[in-house]
Amino acid sequence: MRLWMRWKPIRVRLMLLLAVVGPGIITANVDNDAGGITTYSVAGASFGNTLLWMLPLVAVALIIVQEMSARLGVATGKGLADLIRESMGVRATAVIIGIVVVANLANTVSEFAGVAASMEIFGVSKYIAVPLAGIAVWLLIVKANYKVVERVFLIASAIYLAYIASGFMAQPDWGTVAKDFVTPRFPLQLGYVTIFVTAIGTTIAPWMQFYQQASIVDKGIKPSDYAYERIDVVVGSVFAVVVAGFIIIACSSTIHAAGKEIQSAKDAALALEPLAGKYASVLFALGLLNASVFSAAILPLSTAYVVCEAFGWESGVDRSFSQAPIFFGTYTALIVLGAGIILLPIPSLVQAMMASQTLNGVVLPIILIVMLRLINDRRLMGDFVNGRILNIISWFVVIVLIVLTILLIVLGGLEALRNWSPGVFPA
């Protein structure tokens, strides 16, 4: 009897954790989307393991940002866009939300580009794959309830293990990987700075804070559950960054080592077959397909939450189309636009995919500054306000992102001038 009593609290805590888990893991892993996988693939193929050193720092930054987002949702019971409207007014909200919606549309397009690219590897035309994927994710969100949607998303998160398997199948030199992991490098080259900022933008994207907070509110997580939600956030963030690291390692130890060049995750999957074997290539391609479909559902959903919260309209996966017409209408419109653009007879959208991730890096500081303003409002947060140390770290992250963005713009301008007048501005 005493033994059962001693174990009961642990069992109860585990059950509570399993009941709360979801928003943090799903949000962090969705951001390893088609654009993200392309970013990490190009980073590994072009620069080897030289970006590995930044991943622990990115993991810490991701945990801090997502934890603040979770705390805002748990403490207030409101979404981020809702809090921005109440704190800053409708005009400022409209500007911020407008920027986020544009970035999310670009990201949604990149997800359907990922669907098309991954299915082309298996010989399926984009004119078949993209509409089917669009219909599937639309039916999932519109017809299923929150519990079903969350379970499907958690299963999709587990499929990211395919990238870890691909990394091991690439048979990297683990001694070299370990050395690169602890050796910081930052050459002042446009390509490296661009991929650096883009990697941050794809790992800590602005939509994540809106979606995670809305998901926490939709699930009904209470302040008493905060400790369990924090575990959810940390586990999800660490797993997402580990997956990113293995994508870089896989492409570095094969494609970069062979001196080949790629422009997309599709190129990476195809290049892996002769270098690391058919199974590594198939796993990489399946990972890309999973990530693309997964994110094609989440990005429009995040946008629907943002728009409805910002203007006080009804929202939530558990509601019906008639109860929340603008919520589901916005979701539907993003699906149609994202899939429709990919079906147009236009050239490859790889550059658009990369640009959407870079745009995330540029927009992110704006969202973080707003979040820091909200989370330090004691009237709003009570005992859940930021502490001094967390504020110092958070502001440091924001300043670093702003500096990197300015550096990217300056180097981009110089590169454009060199192309325009190479004699005046030599490389």
Output the domain CATH number for residue 147.
1.20.1740.10
Asked whether residue 1 is domain-assigned, the answer is: no
Asked whether residue 8 is domain-assigned, the answer is: no
Q: How far is CA 425 from the centre of its chain?
A: 37
Q: How many domains does the chain have?
A: 1
Token pair in block for residue 39 = 């970013």
Which of 170-194 are b and which e, b meaning 16 or more Cβ less than 10 Å from the residue's Cβ?
bebeeeebeebeeeeeeeeebebbb
Asked whether residue 9 is domain-assigned, the answer is: no
316: amino acid identity, one letter: G
Asked whether residue 3 is domain-assigned, the answer is: no
Contact residues for 285 (Cβ-Cβ < 8 A; gap 6+): 118, 121, 122, 266, 269
Residue 222's domain spans which residues? 20-420
Helix (DSSP H) and strand (DSSP E) numbers for the chain: 18, 0
> How many CB atoms within 10 Å of residue 159?
16
Asked whether residue 7 is domain-assigned, the answer is: no
Asked whether residue 255 is domain-assigned, the answer is: yes
pLDDT in tens, the chain (427 residues): 444 444 446 665 556 555 566 777 888 777 777 777 888 888 888 888 999 999 998 898 889 888 998 999 999 988 888 888 888 887 878 888 888 888 888 888 888 988 888 888 888 898 999 999 999 999 988 887 777 887 888 787 788 888 888 888 888 889 989 998 888 888 877 778 778 877 776 777 788 888 888 888 888 888 888 888 888 889 889 988 999 999 899 888 888 888 887 776 677 777 766 656 677 778 778 888 888 888 888 889 888 988 888 888 888 888 888 888 999 999 999 999 999 988 887 655 555 555 565 666 667 778 888 889 899 988 888 888 988 888 898 888 778 877 776 776 666 556 555 555 444 434 4
Asked whether residue 14 is domain-assigned, the answer is: no
> Using an 8 Å Cβ cutoff, are 180 and 44 in contact?
no
247: amino acid identity, one letter: I
Contact residues for 80 (Cβ-Cβ < 8 A; gap 6+): 69, 72, 73, 209, 210, 213, 214, 306, 309, 371, 374
Asked whether residue 229 is domain-assigned, the answer is: yes
> Using an 8 Å Cβ cutoff, are 20 and 222 in contact?
no
